[in-house]
Amino acid sequence: MAGVFAGSLDAFRSEQRWWKNSVIYHIYPRSFQDSNGDGNGDLSGIRSRLDYLDYLGVKIIYLSPIFKSPMVDNGYDVSDFMDVNPMFGTMEDFESLLQDIHSRGMKLLLDFVPNHTSDQHDWFLESRSNRHNPRREWYIWRDAASDGTPPNNWLSVFGGSAWSLDRKTNQYYLHQFFKEQPDLNFRNPDVVNATKEVLGFWLDKGVDGFRVDAVPHLLEDEEFRDEPVLASYDTSHPQYKDLDHQFTCNLDDVHGIVRGWRQFCSMYRNPYRLLIGEILCGNETAMSYYGHHKPEFNFPLNFSLIGLKKGITALEISEKVVKYLNDVPKGKWPNWLLGNHDCKRVGTRMGQANLPAMTVLYLTLPGTAVMYYGDEIGLMDADISKGEINDSRDPCRGIMQWENAENYGFSQAKKLWLPGTDNNKTNVEVQKLDETSMLVLTRKILKLRNAEKAFHGLNFRLIHVDSSILAYTRSTWLSKYVVIINFGSRIWSGGLERGLKKKGVVIIDSSTIMAEGTELDMNRISIHPGHALVVKIK
């Protein structure tokens, strides 16, 4: 197995960017902090918690959509890209938040949702008004098939046909997600230019970059051919997963659109603006979005660790890590995340006992780490009864828990949009005072990676792996750190003498058994299950 990230120094020696050495903290605005007592988080609430993010060591904040929206898909159905959803506040609230973020030396990223709009967006209201409206071709309209059914067999990611009939104009429109989210027509240059106007609007306000949503879905087959069906396809209950999406996903021309956005954002050079993409595909396809000959995304988000579940071995994890690092093109920048707003929280998937190990892993691997709010306190999926779930993803979007108070200090409202986890120890107030807590551990790691250049570059060497233990070094020519993680179910004792000096100094022990500064014999190491050591080699 390869043990060194090929080309690691090339990227480190290239032009340094502010996003390379920092953690990106992902906030779901509706769940972070309510400032006005309506049960929904908002921009002023986020602003009131910037001291906490300073305390944690966060340098970059990324917000899920804050744009005006009917909230059919919780903000991913945008009715005005250039205005703030009143649920979250006003444009003045946004500008105040951005000013405070910048005054602290932090950066702000927004979630850009270009594939579709809300069906309440002015563009779509005009488009569906009649077949001759100038904006008709801003969306994808087709006549019914000869038998009156939808134009082809394309399916929505969320279930059912990807086509809905507009009875007023007697044509179908395409929506690869909810029917209230009609797809824009990116083969129309006016649409491409309109999206650049949106980016420019926020860049002119000082936003530092964007995460771009649902990138592979931007273009569809011009001939609107049926997609091939897989063996699992059931005509009575067709499922999205049962089609080969060669005509609706990752078409080659998507790269040209992304290159255009990257070129547009590159005009804003003070500071350099970040562009990252959501590419829910395998490694090979995702890597193509770095750009082969011309730059595209600074990095496509890496989902290789996001589906990990309890019971996975250190060997299996190491294979995923090494494969991803070897797949990253030479000179490009990797990234890591364990969770987001669409999947079960890492503690729910892996079990709370494994949270220290997983946290040390993704925060010490080479590249940029993206932290989902609440993961730093071990927040689990929210306790929501099946009858109260409106969206299958609701549990991972539960409220942030701040203190031992009503609604955990999130809101003074009697009714919240979503509940918490009903665990009094999973909150910031309690964990700040507990040296063994996830919050204190996360803060220590962020302090280390913010300060130590060994964690800024991409030098990575795998030095030991078995079913339980994963160990690797992070180093510069001046310093070397060893990260040792026990993913097993028992205490591990052993030595890591290969290629290392015999003595080290404990910098972080996630089990808090050994204090910082403890001298350690590298031939006599003991690590509890689900925990990790970070050791500086003497």
* 479-501: pLDDT as tens digits: 999 999 999 999 999 998 666 77
Q: Mind listing the pLDDT tens digit for each residue in 129-143?
A: 999 999 999 999 999
Is 213 annotated as catalytic? yes
| From 77, 183, 278, 394, the catalytic residue | 278
HSE value, Cβ hemisphere, 13 Å, CA-based, for 33: 16
What's the residue count for the chain? 538
- How large is the average pLDDT for residues 17-42? 96
270 Cβ neighbours under 8 A, 6+ residues apart: none
Does the pLDDT value for residue 5 go beyond 70? no
Strands 23-27 and 368-372: parallel
In the chain, where the domains are located: 1-117+189-220+248-451, 458-537
pLDDT at 109: 98
What sign does the dihedral 499-503-507-510 (CA atoms) show?
Answer: positive
8 A C-beta contact, residue 502 and residue 535: no
Question: Is 429 one of the catalytic residues?
Answer: no
Helix (H) or strand (E) holding 471: strand 469-475
Same topology, domains 1-117+189-220+248-451 and 458-537? Answer is: no
CB 284 within 8 A of CB 437: no
Burial class (CB in 10 A: 0-12, 13-18, 19+), 445: buried
DSSP 229: B
SS3 category, 478: coil
Return the minimum-mean-pLDDT range out of 15-29, 297-311, 442-456: 15-29
CA dihedral 131, 185, 88, 337 (to 10 degrees): 160
Hey, what's the torsion of the CAs at 365, 366, 368, 371, to 10 degrees? 0
pLDDT, mean over the chain = 94
| Whole-number Å distance between alpha carbons of 282 and 324 | 10
Q: For 141-173, write each residue's pLDDT tens digit.
A: 999 999 999 999 999 999 999 999 999 999 999
- Measured between alpha carbons, how far is 85 from 79 in angstroms, rounded to an integer? 9
Instruction: Check pLDDT > 50 for residue 7.
Output: no
The CATH architecture one would assign to domain 1-117+189-220+248-451 is Alpha-Beta Barrel (3.20)
Find the catalytic residue in 73, 208, 213, 509.
213
The CATH number of domain 458-537, selected from 3.50.50.60, 1.10.3720.10, 3.20.20.80, 2.60.40.1180: 2.60.40.1180
Tokens of 202: 């926020």
Q: Is the peptide bond before 419 cis (omega within 30 degrees of 0)?
A: no
Q: What is the pLDDT of residues 223-244, one digit of tens each?
A: 999 999 999 999 889 999 999 9
Per-residue pLDDT for 87 more than 80? Answer: yes
CA distance 368 to 346: 18
Bridge partners (DSSP) of residue 436 are none
